[in-house]
Chains A and B, each alone.
Chain A
Amino acid sequence: MDSKAFAGTLDSLGLIRDYVKAAATMAGLDKKRTYDLCLAVDEIATNIILYGYQAAGLSGEVVVRAEIDDQNLTVTLEDEGESFNPLQQTMPTEEDLTRALEDRPIGGLGLFLAIKGIDEFKYERVRGRNRNIFVEHLPPATQTRETAQA
């Protein structure tokens, strides 16, 4: 699919999910995995917008790209916000996840849902840009023979 640039504002979240949903449909992902991928991308995009841009006093775009090959659907988010590697953040522990809501810290769940909800998550910092990469492995029955690239 052609890459697409979205304004780095919360209003873009629905549009970003629409793009990811279209890519997942094209790749033949089932409903649950499509939802999980949309959720993962939404969580990271939210983080980019709120912390990479807004909290840092910056503005910019979130560029989304989807690539489909024989084995994977790969969605990439790129931004020019503050450097932020989700994989270096502390994830909620098993103990945190069983705590009563009134005893819970308010943060940390978004990255947890993003990273745990998909097959692979990678992060790169390339030429001053954050690159968050989401990979879903395609089941053999739905692997496509065609490759779509930006």
Chain B
Amino acid sequence: MSFSVSSQITNDVARFFLSGELDASSANAFRTEIEKVAAQKPKQLVLMVKDLAFMASAGLRVLIFAKQKLGVDVPIYIVSPQQPIIDTLQMTGFHHSVHIVNEYPE
């Protein structure tokens, strides 16, 4: 299942729409999208991941990159992740640093 990512910024909130399988072959596309959006200095990062079926550590590294690039004051929301991805976030302790939520207000 191929990976796709797109983004939009509204009112300083950067939303990313991720679907498919995020591995080392596709992580660069995600990182590039983060870099593009970071230039606009958003105040929140929201990852819509309901349709993301797989995430390897390459995806986690992009989250680290995003946090380091945008700064500690920019919260990261992960919206509607599938259970295996929640498991990965918990196993690696990422759930301490991101907000895992079922919904994010429009």
Interface residues, chain A, with chain B CB atoms under 8 Å away: 10-11, 13-14, 17, 31-32, 35-36, 38-39, 42-43, 46, 49-50, 92, 96-102, 104, 106-107, 109-110, 112-113, 116-117
Contact = CB atoms under 8 A, between A and B. Distances in A.
B24 A97 contact: no
Given A32-B84, A100-B97, A110 B56 contact: yes
Interface of B: 1-2, 21, 23-25, 54, 56-58, 60-61, 63-65, 67-68, 71-72, 83-84, 87-88, 91-94, 96-98
Q: Which of B58, B71, B93, B94 has the most chain A CB within a 10 Å cutoff?
A: B93
24 contacts: A10-B23, A10-B24, A14-B1, A14-B21, A32-B87, A39-B54, A39-B56, A42-B23, A42-B56, A46-B57, A96-B93, A97-B92, A100-B96, A101-B64, A101-B68, A101-B94, A102-B68, A102-B72, A106-B61, A107-B61, A110-B56, A113-B56, A113-B91, A113-B92
B57 A113 contact: yes
Contacts of B65: 106
Q: Which of B57, B61, B72 has the most chain A CB within a 10 Å cutoff?
A: B57
Contacts of A104: 64
Contact of A43 (B2, B21, B57, B72): B57
Contacts of A96: 93
Contacts of A92: 92
Contacts, number: 83
Instruction: Say what secondary structure dominates the interface of chain A.
Output: helix
Nearest to B56: A42
A143 B92 CA distance: 31
Contact of A109 (B2, B87, B92, B98): B92
A109 B61 contact: yes
Nearest to B23: A13
